[in-house]
Structure 1
Amino acid sequence: MDITTKIKRSKLLYYVYYYVMSGLVNLYKLFLKPDGKLMLFVCYGGRHYSDSTRVIYEAMLKDERFKDYIIYWAFKNPEKYPFIPNTVNVNSLKYFNIALRARVWVTNVIVERALNFKGINTYYMHTTHGVLCKLDGKDAIDSANFRTLSTFKWDCCFASSDIEKYVYAGMFGIPIGKMHVIGMPKNDILVHYTEDYRSELRKRIGIPEGKKAILYAPTFREEANFKEVFDVDVNLWKQNLGDDYVLLYRAHPVISSDTKQNNDFFIDVTNYEVVEDIMIASDLLVSDYSGIIFDYCIMDKPIFLWPYDYDKYNAIRGLYFDIRKELLYKEDQGELTKVIKEADFKKVVEEYVIPFKNKYETEYGNATSKALDLIYNNIQ
């Protein structure tokens, strides 16, 4: 067990870490000067180069307004990303040096490493990444394995609807005026992709010609301590759906997942960085309480729920609403596969997915340019 896991699991260790390290970082800040041309990007705590952070970064590289800025990406394993000019180890002293001096932070989770500090003159953009269904932030402090003393110091936070705006403002304890209902930059591609691009992705992923692809993307379980819970009976799914479908499995990005052996029915796409590509390549989604549901509905493709542990999950983590009342679901995976096999997809989309989208995803398609405008207008 590494030190990070030990701190996450121990209330005492976390409190010691939080107060001691926060004090040291804020003391160190007194000896630094801000850099008005420095930016820092962090995605899922340094685990990935993906999500809205990636989309904003790649658009920023093409935007003349930001040509004079030095942009750093922080990773747990920077050597995995040789194509990015400026990287830093998220657990290094250099990371804190850059973070404290940077004019802009962009992240989909947090930059502070679960501590209490902010840069000397930093504009802090939080893109969010999809947490609406399950409790998070201040609302989830009492749930298993969710421990933070941090306050959320964001200068702006994104939402895709007024419902999300008020939920996020409450869960993170930030003023409603800092919420911007512009959608998520990562989702712009879900509106603008071409069929040629989709065909290219399906070949790249290995989806056989003539087969429909089911994307199974569950959230993580608190009680599993950030380890994988894989309850799929692959043989059962193959027996019921194998003639016409393949199953794409995507583990949640914050957990430790063992790569599964691919075969003619099952394809593990967990290590494919850009989940939006997998969403585009797939034909339907199966999930539970994951934020991916809210992104996926933008494409007007079928969505099915498999909330097999609803009562347990709700007791441990907590949910804002009963998502089973919103979308078509089955708790037994045998029944679920039969429903998928027999379903009229057009009817599923019309009766469930589109009303869901109209309720929870009212803004989408042009978030990236709006995010860049927000950054530029607030750092001048």
Structure 2
Amino acid sequence: MNSLYKAKQLILVLAALVSRNFLKIFYVFSIEEKKILFCSHQGNGYICNPKYIYMYFKSKSENKFKYVWVFNKPREFLRMEDSETIVLKINSLKFFYHFLTAKFIIINSSNFPYIPKRRKQIIINTWHGGGAYKKIGQENNIDMYKKITICDFSYMVSSCRKFTNVMSKAFTKNDENKFLNIGMPRNDIFFRNYQDIIQRTLDKLQLSESKKYILCAPTWRLEQEDYDLNFQQLLEICKRKFGGEWVVLFRSHKYHKINTLKKLINEEYVIDVSEYDDMQELICISNILITDYSSCMWDMLLTRKPCFIYAQDIERYTRCNGFYVPPSAWPFLIAKNNEELEHNIMHFKDDIYREKIKMHCKDLGCFENGNATKAIYDFLKEKLINKGTN
């Protein structure tokens, strides 16, 4: 790490400390016991676990809460406003007021290191990925600014025992009492009949019900490179193996723009769905997932639908980033090139795959059971009842 980078990190940390002291002026306002502030990916959308928790809370008629959603572009979400919900711009004065007077704050990634959390506030970090695959946090040499960004939470939602174990080491000095072992709220969708979601998603994307869909979703990596998966060959392989007419849905990571993607997109058989905001809905309509190290593999295995790993840089990624659970222990067939991917698809056996998933979930200690959103709801209600002990 060079001296210039260290200097920038130090400046960010010092700025956060100054901001924390200044914003304590909002402490003159009382905390509202039934106010919940939601934020997904630092205000980048109405997505992921906070979205599904909010939807569940809104469906309950008793114990009405006051909801605050914060966005980078709030005008795009004004439709959400009603008698219970307000929409604000992140880092505005109103945002600071509501952040520091909300009893509960629900996020899915980094917190706000420049805002001084109050003692009686409860921040629930729902995170944005299940399982325990690529390394993150202190075990991945994360910089000091991001450490204070991520670690300031009251509780973190966990998808499995392995996640609780590794994340407690990375962020809480082995304090596993800060983890809610309930599964990912966004994954409750896979434990019920989601045919209505499939139809709605197909309609929104104007996709045919008669086609089958391959969702390609590579993760973010520090060193961007061209994506050399041969889509046309992939479609032909899937047709030979599984029958039917296939289409690729390509979803790039929000921080990773594939250089050659524009050349690969074809309205007939490769469709760019990178701007579609709900990954769970894309998984619902997809028959196959192809990823590399993204935690969406965890979400997909809950559906029992086929997932294949296409990881052309697996040796370098292992060396530079590392894994909590080695790829050799995953239930998915791994390919480093198009020829290996063809072999893996053609030799795929559903019964063996399902047995591997079963063992993998057992090995990682899966907490997913379709009741995570209810568990969050009950947890917050309990905190309100027992507020004198917080």
SS class of match (2:312): coil
Please tell me whether the aligned partners of residues 116 and 151 of structure 1 are also in contact (alpha carbons under 8 angstroms): no
Cα distance between partner residues in 2 of 1:16 and 1:153? 19
Aligned residues: 365
Aligned match of 1:318: 322
Shift in Å at residue 15 of structure 1? Answer: 2.1
Of 329, 338, 341, the match for 2:334: 329
Aligned match of 1:18: 13
Please tell me whether the aligned partners of residues 197 and 281 of structure 2 are also in contact (alpha carbons under 8 angstroms): no
Cα distance between partner residues in 1 of 2:167 and 2:266? 38
Aligned match of 1:219: 219
Cα distance between partner residues in 1 of 2:100 and 2:302? 37
Of 294, 297, 300, the match for 2:304: 300
Structure 1 position 140 matched with structure 2 position 110: no
SS class of match (2:300): helix
Aligned match of 2:129: 130
Cα distance between partner residues in 2 of 1:255 and 1:91? 25
Please tell me whether the aligned partners of residues 308 and 334 of structure 2 are also in contact (alpha carbons under 8 angstroms): yes
Please tell me whether the aligned partners of residues 34 and 120 of structure 1 are also in contact (alpha carbons under 8 angstroms): no
Please tell me whether the aligned partners of residues 38 and 107 of structure 2 are also in contact (alpha carbons under 8 angstroms): yes
Listed as ranges, the matches of 1:105-184 within 5 Å are 105-112=105-112, 114-115=113-114, 117-119=116-118, 121-130=120-129, 132-142=132-142, 147-150=146-149, 152-173=151-172, 175-184=175-184
Aligned match of 1:249: 250
CA RMSD, Structure 1 to Structure 2 (Å): 2.7
Please tell me whether the aligned partners of residues 123 and 379 of structure 1 are also in contact (alpha carbons under 8 angstroms): no
Return 5+ residue gaps in structure 2 as ranges: 386-390
Q: TM-score, normalised by structure 1?
A: 0.86
Q: TM-score, normalised by structure 2?
A: 0.84
Cα distance between partner residues in 1 of 2:187 and 2:342? 28
Deviation sequence 1:8-48 (CA, Å, 0-9, x none): x9442232122123322333214432331432111011112
Residue 180 of structure 1 aligns to which amino acid in structure 2?
L
Return 5+ residue gaps in structure 1 as ranges: 1-8
Please tell me whether the aligned partners of residues 219 and 290 of structure 1 are also in contact (alpha carbons under 8 angstroms): yes
Cα distance between partner residues in 2 of 1:96 and 1:343? 55
Identity of aligned residues (%): 24
Change (3 A) 1:66 1:219: farther
Shift in Å at residue 247 of structure 1? Answer: 1.0
Structure 1 position 29 matched with structure 2 position 34: no
Please tell me whether the aligned partners of residues 182 and 370 of structure 1 are also in contact (alpha carbons under 8 angstroms): yes
SS class of match (2:370): coil
Cα distance between partner residues in 1 of 2:111 and 2:95? 10
Shift in Å at residue 106 of structure 1? Answer: 0.2
Cα distance between partner residues in 2 of 1:146 and 1:233? 39
Deviation sequence 1:242-292 (CA, Å, 0-9, x none): 773211111224446798544111111111111111101001111111111
Deviation sequence 1:309-353 (CA, Å, 0-9, x none): 11211222221121233221111123313532x244523532433
Please tell me whether the aligned partners of residues 102 and 121 of structure 2 are also in contact (alpha carbons under 8 angstroms): yes
Residue 29 of structure 1 aligns to which amino acid in structure 2?
K
Change (3 A) 1:257 1:378: farther
Change (3 A) 1:206 1:232: farther
